[in-house]
Chains A and B, each alone.
Chain A
Amino acid sequence: GAVVSQHPSWVICKSGTSVKIECRSLDFQATTMFWYRQFPKQSLMLMATSNEGSKATYEQGVEKDKFLINHASLTLSTLTVTSAHPEDSSFYICSATRVGALSRTGEKLFFGSGTQLSVL
């Protein structure tokens, strides 16, 4: 089955530093990648949709200058949390869809393993 690799799986950083999270589709080309955030005991909230070669589309309330997304190739998208603060501590998950996937999403949506970010 399709594999999406997300790295790192966890990171602890000091307040004010930037953290980069990578999401790679290992055995397929991903036209679109999605970035979610999940706070403890809460739902996954879509932050942004990332399309290869174009600017990401951010959901309402998500600061695009704080959460920088780059999707430079069909197999790699990165999320950079700039000037991280304790309130940014969360579980970040990426997902990817395969090129040529059926229109009914979900079945062709592959999740990375997630990154637990803790900002001190």
Chain B
Amino acid sequence: QKEVEQNSGPLSVPEGAIASLNCTYSDRGSQSFFWYRQYSGKSPELIMSIYSNGDKEDGRFTAQLNKASQYVSLLIRDSQPSDSATYLCAVKGAGGTSYGKLTFGQGTILTVHP
């Protein structure tokens, strides 16, 4: 079983729609969760971080965390073609995990078409 699992997609949504990206993780003790956006051939850039159950909103982005279900999601409202990228879910494990060590999902390819 993969430690961090995402649907690889591709996920295709029309411009202006809501894109919903999902991620599940296996380490129940995980404390920190992140969403990165990665354009082809580029390094990841941090979009959102979330640490507590519930929703966290930042502009058009909303991260949702449910630790009981070991599930984290990212919603992108009013999707734009420039949002087309691969979205990586990353999780920092509990306790003994070394500082800075993140486990990444395989990424979901999002395509926003005009």
Contact = CB atoms under 8 A, between A and B. Distances in A.
Contacts, number: 65
Contacts of B107: 41, 43
B46 A107 contact: yes
B104 interface: yes
Interface stretch (A14-22, A67-75, A81-89, A112-120): A112-120
B42 A113 contact: yes
A109 interface: yes
A44 B41 contact: no
A111 B101 CA distance: 13
Interface string B46-77: 10010100000000000000000000000000
B41 A106 contact: no
Interface residues on A, range: 20 to 34
Contacts of B46: 106-107, 109
- The interface residues of chain B, by DSSP majority, are classed as loop
Contact of A105 (B41, B99, B106): B99
Interface residues on B, range: 20 to 34
Contacts of A95: 100
B88 A44 contact: yes
Contacts of A57: 98
A79 interface: no
Given A105-B32, A112-B43, A114-B43, A49 B98 contact: yes
19 contacts: A41-B107, A42-B106, A43-B104, A46-B101, A46-B103, A57-B98, A93-B43, A97-B99, A103-B99, A104-B51, A105-B32, A105-B101, A106-B32, A106-B49, A107-B46, A111-B43, A111-B45, A114-B41, A116-B41
Q: Please name the 9 residue pairs, one residue from A and one from B, whose CB atoms are nearest each other, closest first.
A: A111-B43, A106-B34, A43-B106, A43-B104, A44-B104, A114-B43, A105-B100, A97-B100, A93-B43
Given A97-B99, A113-B42, 11 more contacts: A6-B43, A43-B104, A46-B102, A103-B99, A104-B49, A105-B32, A105-B100, A106-B49, A109-B100, A109-B102, A114-B41
Interface of B: 4, 8, 32, 34, 41-46, 49, 51, 88, 90, 92, 98-107
